[in-house]
Chain A
C-alpha cells in the first residue's frame, strides 16, 4: 500500500514538475533578455558565469536583508565567491540589481504558499471528478442496457452465429495471399494500378499517431491550465466556506437580493408571466416567513429583550422587527376586507382612492398600518411596490390631500341633511305601513294556510328531496315576496330622493354614485333601528304573555341579519371615515343582539312546552329543527361574517352568483332586503296577539321551514363541495374559503385506488329486464351518488370497505337500471306471454286442439282471462310473505348489531332492575357504518356474500398489489386475459408465455465487449424478434418452455 502511495506521489510530483517547469524556464529566459538589453558582458551565457551571476544576486539579497540601517553609498567591494580570491563586481551593476523590480519580485516570492486543501475536501473534489469520468464512460452503455431491458426475450449468448446465407461479395472481401503465378501477376497488376487500397501496417499507423514535440507541449500546457483553474476554484471555495464574517454574509445576502430584484425587473420587461410566477414564489416565501412568526418570537428577539432597555440601537432594531411582524400579520386581515370591498367599489375608483389616501397619510406622517383608516391603503403598496409611491410628485399629493379633506367635510354635511329628511319620511312611512299591514295580513293568512298544507305534505315526505324542497321553499316565500316587492318600491323612492339631494349639492359623478349607495343603506339601517326599538317593546309584552314563538325565530333571523349589517357598517366606517352617526346605530344593533340570547332562552323553554302538548307528526321534525337551531345558532351569533349564509336568500342566491358583478348585486340586494324582511316579519305580530293557537302553529311551521331550509342549505353546501372538487371554485369568496379550509383538513391520503372491476362481463350484451320502471330512477341514482360522495367527504376518507365496493360494483354493473324493486310481488306480477301447446292426455278433453283450434279455445276454461289467472296465482301470498321474512332475517343476521358503550348505573340511582335510559343508550351508541347489501334493491333475491366469496377463496385471491400497480382496477386489468392453451389459440398462447430469458445449452456466455458499442453505431444490432434463427426456432423454444412449465406444475 505504502509503495503504491509513494509511487503515486512521485507520479504527481512528476506531473507537477512537468507542468511547472515550462513556466520557470520562460521566466528565466525573460530575465536573461532583460540583462541582454543592458549590454552586459554576461551575454555569453556560459554556465559558470550564469551561476556566478545568480550567486551574486543571492548574496545581494542577503545583504539587503542585513542592511537595515545602513545607507548604500558609493561602491562596495563584495566578495562573491568563496574560492579563487576576490572578484571585483561593479557596484552600479549591483545597485541596478537591487532595483525596485527585483525587490518586488523577491517580495512576491516571499509570499507563503497556499495552505493545501484539507484532506477530506481534496478527496471529495477528486471523487467528484472521478465520478463524472466514470459516469460519462458508463453512459456509453446506457442505450444497450436500455435496449436489453426493453426486449421481451433476451437470448443468450448475445453473439449468435450469423446463419443467414452469405452473399458472395462479402465472402470474397478477405485479403488473399496470391498463390499461383497467375494470381501473383494479377495481384501485382492491380496493386500497381492503385485500384486496391493499400493496407497500412501497425507501425505506420503508430507513426501517424505519434505526436510532435509542439503538440506535446501544447497538451501539457492545456493540462496545466486546467489544473490551475481547478486549484483556483478550490481555493475560492475554501475561502468562501471559511468566512464567518457576518458582514460578509450580510453583503452577500444584499447582493443576492439586489440581483433578485434586478432579475424581477428584467423579467417584468421581458416575460411578465414568468415575473408573476416569480413574484408568487416570493410571496409564498413571505407567507412562510409570516407563518413561522419569526419576527415575533425569534430567539434573537427574546435575547434582545433585556438589552433593549439599555441600548438604543437594540431597541430600534426590536421595534423594526415588531413593525415587520405587524406588517406581515396585518396583511391577511386586510385581504379579507379587500375582497368584500371589491364588491362595492369599482376597481378603478378604489385604486385611486387608496392611492390618494395613502399619500395623504404618508404626508401627514400618520401612516399607520394598524389604523383602519389607512389600513386599506397598504394593499396598494403591496401590489404595486413602494417604487410607485416615489414616482408621484409632491404637488399632486398636496392637492389630493386638500381634495380629500373637502370630500370628507361635504359628506358629513350631506349626511346631516339626509338624516333630517329621513326622520320626516319615517313618520310618513310608519303611517303608510300600518295601512298596508292590514291589507297584507289578509293576504298572508291565505298564503300561510296554503303553506301549511304543503308543509304537512313535506313533513311526511321527510323533505329529503332537495329539488322539490327548494320549490316549496320558493312557494313559501312567495307570499313574503309580494310584501317585499312593495318595500322595494318604497326604497327606490327613497333612493331618488337621495339623488335629488345630491344633485343639489352638485357633487362629482363618482362621489354622487357612492353617496347614493351609502345613503340608501344608511337610511335602511336607521329605519331598522327605529323599528327594532319598537319591536323590542313588543317583545317585552309578548314575553309576558309567553306565546311568541314565531317572534323568537324571527328574532334569531333578525339578529343574524343585523349582524351582517353591522359588519357592513364597520366596513363603511373604515372606508368613508364617517362613523360618528353609524356608531349610534351600531350601538343599537348591539343592544338588540344582547337582548336576543335572553329572549331565546325563554322562548326555547316555551317551545318545549308546546311540543309536549303537541302530539302530532310535526313533533319529531320540530325537535330536529330545534336541535339544529340550538346547535347551529350560537356560533352564528358570535361571529358576524359567517351568519351571512344563514340569511334567507343565502342558499338560493349563492348558486346564482357566478361572477364578481353579480355577487356585488346580490350583496346590494341583501342590504336592501334586510329592512324589508324586518317589516314583513313584524306583520304577524298582531296575529299572534289575537290568536294563540294560530301563532303557535305558525311558529311551528316557521321553524319547520327553517329546518328544511337548513337541510337544503347543508345539502347545497355538500353539492358545492362536489362541484368545487370537480369544476373550478365558485366565485363566492366566503364560501370558497370555508370549503377550502375543509378540503385542507387532514384527509387520510389513500395509497391505492381500491376500485375494482368485479363482475365485469365483457363477452355479451346486457339483458334488459322486463320490469324496468324507469320513472325517477336517474334522479334517485344521482341523488344517492351525491349523498355517498358527501358522506365520503364528511368522513374524509375513500370508500374502500366491503360494502362500498359492493355498491360500486353494483353501480357499474347496472348503469342504466337503478329501479328499486324491494317488493317481490312487484316482480312476479308481470303479465306473461301465453304459449300455445297441445294438451297432455292426462287432462280431460285434451287433444291437439291447442294448436289446431282457435286461440280462444286453447285453454281449459274459456272464460278465464289473464287477470283471473293472476288473481288465482296470488290467492295465497304466504310464500311471498315467508320469503320476505326470510330475507329480513338474513339481513338482520348479517348486519352489525347495535351496541352501546353506556355503563349502567353511572349517574343514576343504583339498585335492582336498573333500567338504562334510552337517551343514555343512544348517546354512547357505537356507530357502525351500515353496509349496503348487494341485494338491497332486488326484492326477490337473498344474496349471501360471505358464502359466495368465502374465506377459503379469499386465501387464494390476490391481496397485495404488485409493484408497479397503484390501483386494483389496473392490476385486475393486467391479469384479465387467460394465457393457457385451453383458452386461447396455440400461437397466442406461445406468445403470451414467452420466457423473458433463454440460454443456449452448451455455450459459454461471454460478457459484452466494446464491440457491441460499435455494432450499435453501425445499426447492426438486430432486433431479437427478427433474429437470425428465424421463426421456426422461436416456435421450438416456445414449445420447450411451455412443456417445462407443465412439468413444474406437477
Chain B
C-alpha cells in the first residue's frame, strides 16, 4: 500500500476541511491523550481530544504523528531565502509545501484501509514452531488454505519455478524439458508441454499470458496455450532469467558470462555485453531500482545496469564462492549465502554495510525473502524459514521442512502465506503463516483481476513504461540536479566572451553623377560599416555557441534523435509564423 491506491472514498467534506486546517504536531502531545489497547494481537489506538482540538478536527480523525513520519517526504524548501522581494513567490512556495504536507497526511490516512493483518505461528512453552509440520498445519487450517499446500511429484527432474507478481499463477520448468503453467490456487492447468530440450530457467513476462524459458540453446517465449511465440536467438546458452516489470526488460545471464537486456515491447535488444566474470548462474533483480545482482565464484556480488558495460558496484561478500542472492521486495535488504556456510544480510541501499551474518551448519544453496521479511534457506533437501533475520533475533528456524529431493528453486508466493519449492522430484507448496503481505494494492497487482482489468492494466503499464536509461542504484537520481554539468554551465557563463564590434574606417571611393554628395557618401559608408560589423558579431556569436554547445545539448541534433522520456516536460518549440508581404 506504499503507493497508496484506493482513495475513492474521499468525499467533498474532506476536501473542504483539508483546506481549512493544517496538521501541526507541535502542540499535539501524543503521549498525553493517546490510549493504546491490545486486542487479539492488534494494537488499537484511541485519541482523546480537547475541546479546542475537537473543534479543529471535527469529523476528521487525527493521524498518528509516527505514521505521518513514515510517509514524510523529507525537508522542504528553506523559504526564508526567497521572496523577500517577491512575496507572491514566497506565498506560492508556502502553498506548495502545504500541499505536499497534505498529500503526506492523505497517504498516511490510507493506512486505515489496510484492514488485514498477517498471522504468525506461536509456540507453546517447551516447544518450537519448527516442530509444527506441514501436515499439522494442513490439518488445523480451513479447507481453502489447506488446499493451498500441496505436492506435485514430477518426473522430469530438477525443476525451476516462478510465480506471477500477483501470486496467482505458477510456471514450472523441468530440466528434462517439462514446461507447465497453471493457476495454482484453483489448480487449473494452462499449458503443459515438453520442449524436448533442457530447460534451465523459466520466467513470467508482464502477464500470465506469456512466459520465457531458457532452453539449451536459446530463450523461447511461449504463450498461455503453450504456443511458441518467439525464439530469441540473440540470447543463447542462458542460465538465468529475470523480468523487470516496470521497464519491460527481459534480462538474461549466460554460460559465457554475457548479460543482456531485451525490451519485450519492441522486441529489441537494449544491450548485451560480456561481464568477463565467467559463468553467471546466480542472478537476481533488486525490485527497488531494477539493478541486476550477480553472484560470482570470487565471493563478490556485482550489480549491473543496462547503461554501461561495467559493473556499477562490486561487493566482496564472502571469502568463498557465492551460492545464492536475494533482495527483499522493498529493496532494502540483500541476503547472500556462500560456500563458507554463511548467510549474510546486507543493507541493499547502502552497500558494503553488513547488517547480520549467520553461520549455518551446512552450505545453503538457495535463499529467498518473503514480503514480510521471512527468510527461507535451503540446505540440500531441507528448507528452513527464519524470522527476524534483519534485526538479528533469529537463532532457531521459524519453520522447517524436509523435501523429497534436493531443493533446486524456491519462491514465496506474493500475497499468500505460501512458499513454493521446486526440487529434483517435483514441486511442493508449503504453508508458512505470516509470510505474505495480507493487503494487496489492486492498482499495483491484483490476484483477483478480471480479464478486462488485466487488459487495462497492461495498457497502462506499457504507457508508463520506464525507460532503461533511468536504471541506476539510486532511483531518486532523476529528481536531482546534475551538479557537475550545472557547474560547467555556470563556469561557461562566467567565461562567456564578450566581443566588441570592431571599428571600421571606410572611405568610399569617388563616384560620378552626384553620387558622391555628402549624404550619399555617408549612406554608403554606413552601409559598409554596419555590414562588416554585423558579420563579425555573427561569427563571434556562432563561435560562442559552439563553445557552449559542448556543455549543453544542441537542439539541432536533438531533432534527429528519438525522443526522450521526459521530453514531454520540455517547453514546446514555437512555430515560426511565416510573414507574407
A477 at the A/B interface (Cβ < 8 Å)? Answer: no
A1032 to B13, CA, bound (A): 10
Is A150 in contact with B397, judged by CB distance below 8 angstroms?
no
A231-239, A267-275, A873-881, A914-922 - interface stretch: A873-881
Least CB separation from B378: chain A residue: A840
A985 to B77, CA, bound (A): 23
A104 at the A/B interface (Cβ < 8 Å)? Answer: no
Most buried by A among B3, B89, B482: B482
A851 to B398, CA, bound (A): 11
A200 at the A/B interface (Cβ < 8 Å)? Answer: no
B residues 3-38 near A (Cβ < 8 Å) are: 3-4, 7-8, 10, 12, 14-16, 18-19
Given contacts A947-B312, A957-B477, A1050-B463, contact A985 B88 (CB under 8 A): no
A1048 to B567, CA, bound (A): 11
A966 to B564, CA, bound (A): 27
B128 at the A/B interface (Cβ < 8 Å)? Answer: yes
Bitwise, B481-500 to A at CB < 8 A (1) or not (0) is 11111110110000000000
B91-99, B231-239, B414-422 - interface stretch: B91-99
Is B320 in contact with A879, judged by CB distance below 8 angstroms?
yes
A966 to B480, CA, bound (A): 14
Tell me the smallest distance from the CB of A516 to a CB of chain B, in Å. Answer: 57
Given contacts A833-B359, A843-B362, A952-B307, contact A828 B319 (CB under 8 A): yes
A98 at the A/B interface (Cβ < 8 Å)? Answer: no
Bitwise, B316-349 to A at CB < 8 A (1) or not (0) is 1111100000000000100000001111000101
Is A770 in contact with B395, judged by CB distance below 8 angstroms?
no
Which chain B residues lie closer than 8 Å to A949 at the CB level? 472, 477
Least CB separation from B488: chain A residue: A959
A952 to B311, CA, bound (A): 16
A291-299, A364-372, A615-623, A755-763 - interface stretch: A755-763
Which chain A residues lie closer than 8 Å to B351 at the CB level? 938, 941, 943
Tell me the smallest distance from the CB of A298 to a CB of chain B, in Å. Answer: 31
Tell me the smallest distance from the CB of A996 to a CB of chain B, in Å. Answer: 10
Tell me the smallest distance from the CB of A395 to a CB of chain B, in Å. Answer: 61
A946 to B386, CA, bound (A): 38
Which chain A residues lie closer than 8 Å to B568 at the CB level? 1048-1049
Which chain A residues lie closer than 8 Å to B286 at the CB level? none
Is B102 in contact with A751, judged by CB distance below 8 angstroms?
no
Is A1031 in contact with B16, judged by CB distance below 8 angstroms?
yes
B78 at the A/B interface (Cβ < 8 Å)? Answer: yes
B41 at the A/B interface (Cβ < 8 Å)? Answer: no
Is A973 in contact with B352, judged by CB distance below 8 angstroms?
no
Is B311 in contact with A947, judged by CB distance below 8 angstroms?
yes
A128-136, A245-253, A656-664, A798-806 - interface stretch: A798-806
Which chain B residues lie closer than 8 Å to A955 at the CB level? 469, 553, 564
A993 to B342, CA, bound (A): 50
Is B490 in contact with A751, judged by CB distance below 8 angstroms?
yes
Bitwise, A755-775 to B at CB < 8 A (1) or not (0) is 011111111100101110000
Tell me the smallest distance from the CB of A222 to a CB of chain B, in Å. Answer: 39
Which chain A residues lie closer than 8 Å to B473 at the CB level? 948
A residues 995-1050 near B (Cβ < 8 Å) are: 1025-1026, 1030-1032, 1034-1035, 1048-1050
Most buried by B among A824, A869, A948: A948
Least CB separation from B314: chain A residue: A942
Is A146 in contact with B88, judged by CB distance below 8 angstroms?
yes
Tell me the smallest distance from the CB of A803 to a CB of chain B, in Å. Answer: 10
Given contacts A764-B332, A988-B106, contact A953 B477 (CB under 8 A): yes
B479 at the A/B interface (Cβ < 8 Å)? Answer: yes
Tell me the smallest distance from the CB of A797 to a CB of chain B, in Å. Answer: 11
Kindly identify which residue among B307, B352, B377, B381 contacts A938, using a CB–CB cutoff of 8 Å. B352
B residues 436-482 near A (Cβ < 8 Å) are: 443, 463-464, 469-470, 472-474, 476-482
A940 to B298, CA, bound (A): 13
A965 to B481, CA, bound (A): 12
A394 at the A/B interface (Cβ < 8 Å)? Answer: no
Least CB separation from B339: chain A residue: A873
B68-76, B191-199, B218-226, B538-546 - interface stretch: B68-76
Is B481 in contact with A959, judged by CB distance below 8 angstroms?
yes
A331 at the A/B interface (Cβ < 8 Å)? Answer: no
Is B486 in contact with A752, judged by CB distance below 8 angstroms?
yes
A278 to B134, CA, bound (A): 91
Is B319 in contact with A879, judged by CB distance below 8 angstroms?
yes
Which chain A residues lie closer than 8 Å to B88 at the CB level? 146, 149-150
Least CB separation from B95: chain A residue: A152
Is A841 in contact with B381, judged by CB distance below 8 angstroms?
yes
Given contacts A800-B487, A988-B103, contact A838 B384 (CB under 8 A): yes
A883 at the A/B interface (Cβ < 8 Å)? Answer: yes
Is B107 in contact with A873, judged by CB distance below 8 angstroms?
no
A983 to B395, CA, bound (A): 38
A40-48, A74-82, A738-746, A858-866 - interface stretch: A858-866
Which chain A residues lie closer than 8 Å to B7 at the CB level? 985-988
B207 at the A/B interface (Cβ < 8 Å)? Answer: no
Is A851 in contact with B400, judged by CB distance below 8 angstroms?
yes
Is B316 in contact with A880, judged by CB distance below 8 angstroms?
yes
Which chain A residues lie closer than 8 Å to B354 at the CB level? 769-771, 827, 830
Is B307 in contact with A968, judged by CB distance below 8 angstroms?
no
Kindly identify which residue among A149, A770, A972, A974 contacts B357, using a CB–CB cutoff of 8 Å. A770
Is A869 in contact with B313, judged by CB distance below 8 angstroms?
no
Bitwise, B38-76 to A at CB < 8 A (1) or not (0) is 000000000000000000000000000000001011111
B130 at the A/B interface (Cβ < 8 Å)? Answer: yes
Tell me the smallest distance from the CB of A821 to a CB of chain B, in Å. Answer: 8
Least CB separation from B551: chain A residue: A959
A958 at the A/B interface (Cβ < 8 Å)? Answer: yes
Which chain B residues lie closer than 8 Å to A850 at the CB level? 361
Is B486 in contact with A968, judged by CB distance below 8 angstroms?
yes
Which chain B residues lie closer than 8 Å to A977 at the CB level? 73, 100, 103-104
Is B332 in contact with A960, judged by CB distance below 8 angstroms?
no
Is B106 in contact with A984, judged by CB distance below 8 angstroms?
yes
B310 at the A/B interface (Cβ < 8 Å)? Answer: yes
B287 at the A/B interface (Cβ < 8 Å)? Answer: no
B268 at the A/B interface (Cβ < 8 Å)? Answer: no
B229 at the A/B interface (Cβ < 8 Å)? Answer: no
10 A-B pairs with the lowest CB-CB distances in the bound complex, closest first: A840-B380, A985-B7, A988-B103, A947-B308, A941-B352, A1031-B12, A938-B352, A959-B485, A957-B482, A832-B357
What are 24 A-B pairs with beta-carbon distances under 8 A? A152-B95, A754-B487, A762-B72, A801-B487, A828-B316, A832-B359, A834-B361, A835-B360, A835-B394, A837-B397, A839-B361, A840-B379, A840-B402, A841-B380, A843-B380, A859-B361, A860-B361, A957-B481, A959-B489, A973-B75, A982-B443, A985-B4, A988-B103, A989-B103
15 new A-B contacts, CB < 8 A, other than A838-B382, A959-B481, are A763-B72, A770-B357, A830-B357, A832-B359, A833-B356, A835-B360, A840-B379, A840-B382, A883-B314, A944-B311, A956-B470, A977-B103, A985-B106, A987-B106, A988-B7
